[in-house]
């Protein structure tokens, strides 16, 4: 049905037809998101938490067990975080990988505490972004996440930020909020916001910081 037209950047782009289906998604959005999770499950996408991941294990804290994020979600965040955090990530490759891996672990630990209702919402969002058909038609991200460049990830975030469809704004807020809090809220990255941490005199004086 849809005709692919190569755009100057070499990425395929759908013609007008896609615009209509995009808008339609916005109108029936809530229902549509609900069906994606089911579809993604049936089509064999990863739905179990990743546990210990052998593939990316070398970059992850060996003691960390994922409770919510599956392998596809991890790939999603590995693609998004360079755009999300941008120049805040270290440039040195090993430090960069550690920063990304640690942030994804903290995202997972945070979502674990969100409880079932919001986990269900996030599951639908992540499935929508990970499932090929909806990734292309709804998020307009043409490559699978491991092949998405930082510029493409940024363009995706920018589309959802500036969209007039509230559902996409909501998706943007959800993705940025969990990523930003997991990154900027962590002590290793406090220096990026000029936050010196809790006052040292209080840390020295208070009993809960002793025997640490």
Partner 1 sequence: MSLTDRIAQGLESGWNVTDSALLTQNLTAEADVVVIGTGAGGGTTAEILARSGLSVILVEEGRLYYQKDFKMDEQTSYANLYQEGMSRVTRDGAIAILQGRCVGGSTTVNWTSSFRTPAPTLNYWAEQFGLDELRPDAMAPWFDGREERHSMAPWQVDPNVNNDILRQGCEKLGYSWQIIPRNVKGCWNLGYCGVGCPTNAKQGALMTTIPGALDNNARLFHSLRADRLVMNEDKIDHLEASAFADDGVTPTGIKVTLKARHFVVAASAIGSPGLLLRSDIPDPHQRIGKRSFIHPVNATVAQMPQRVDPFYGAPQSIYSDEFNFRNGVDGPVGYKLEVPPLHPGMSSGVIPGHGETQINNMAGLPHMQSVIALLRDGFHPESPGGTVSLRDDGSPVLDYPVSDYLWKGIREAFHTMAEIQFAAGAEKVRLMHLDSDWYTNWTDAKAAIDQLPMAPHRVRLFTAHQMGGCAMGSNPQNSVVNGFGEHHQVSNLSIHDASIFPTSIGANPQLSVYALAARNSTRLAQRLSRAAS
Please choose, out of 17-25, 93-101, 132-140, 191-199, the segment that lies near partner 1 by the rule CB under 8 A: 191-199
Does residue 136 contact residue 44 with C-beta atoms inside 8 Å? no
CB of 128 to partner 1, least distance (A): 14
Rounded Cα distance between 206 and 151, Å, is 46
Could you say whether residue 84 binds partner 1 (CB under 8 A)? yes
- DSSP states of 13-51: EE-HHHHHHHHHHHHTHHHHHHHHHHHHHHTT---S--B
Sign, CA dihedral 62-65-66-72, equals: positive
Q: Is 194 in the site for partner 1 (CB under 8 A)?
A: yes
**Should residue 115 be labelled a site residue for partner 1 when binding is judged by CB under 8 A?**
yes
* Helix (H) and strand (E) counts in the chain: 9, 2
123 binds partner 1 (CB under 8 A): no
Nearer to partner 1, 112 or 140 (CB): 112
166 near partner 1 (CB under 8 A):
yes
Q: Under the criterion CB under 8 A, does residue 157 sit at the interface with partner 1?
A: yes
Residues 87-106 that bind partner 1 (CB under 8 A): 87-88, 106
Give the shortest CB-182-to-partner 1 separation in angstroms: 8
- Give SS3 for 143: coil
Q: Assess 10 for contact with partner 1 (CB under 8 A).
A: no
Q: How far is CA 48 from the centre of its chain?
A: 17
Binding of partner 1 by 61 (CB under 8 A):
no
Q: Does 56 sit near partner 1 (CB under 8 A)?
A: no
143, 127 contact by CB (below 8 A): no
- Beta pairing partners, 51: 66
Q: Name the residues that contact partner 1, by CB under 8 A.
A: 83-88, 106, 109-118, 121, 154, 157, 161-162, 166, 169-170, 172-174, 176-187, 189-190, 192-195, 198-199, 202-203, 205-209
């Amino acid at each position: 049905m849809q005709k692919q037209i190569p755009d100057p950047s070499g990425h395929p782009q759908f013609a007008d037809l896609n615009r209509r289906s995009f808008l339609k998604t916005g109108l029936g959005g809530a229902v549509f998101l609900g069906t994606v999770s089911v579809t993604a499950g049936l089509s064999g996408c990863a739905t179990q938490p990743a546990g210990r991941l052998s593939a990316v294990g070398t970059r992850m804290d060996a003691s960390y067990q994922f409770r919510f994020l599956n392998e596809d979600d991890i790939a999603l965040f590995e693609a998004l975080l360079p755009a999300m955090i941008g120049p805040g990530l270290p440039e040195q490759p090993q430090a960069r990988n550690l920063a990304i891996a640690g942030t994804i672990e903290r995202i997972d630990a945070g979502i674990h505490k969100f409880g079932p209702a919001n986990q269900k919402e996030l599951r639908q969002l992540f499935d929508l972004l990970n499932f090929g058909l909806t990734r292309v038609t709804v998020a307009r991200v043409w490559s699978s996440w491991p092949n998405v460049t930082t510029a493409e990830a940024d363009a995706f975030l920018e589309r959802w930020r500036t969209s007039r469809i509230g559902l996409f704004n909501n998706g943007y807020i959800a993705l940025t909020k969990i990523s930003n809090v997991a990154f900027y809220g962590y002590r290793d990255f406090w220096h990026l916001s000029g936050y010196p941490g809790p006052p040292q005199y209080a840390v020295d004086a208070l009993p809960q910081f002793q025997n640490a």
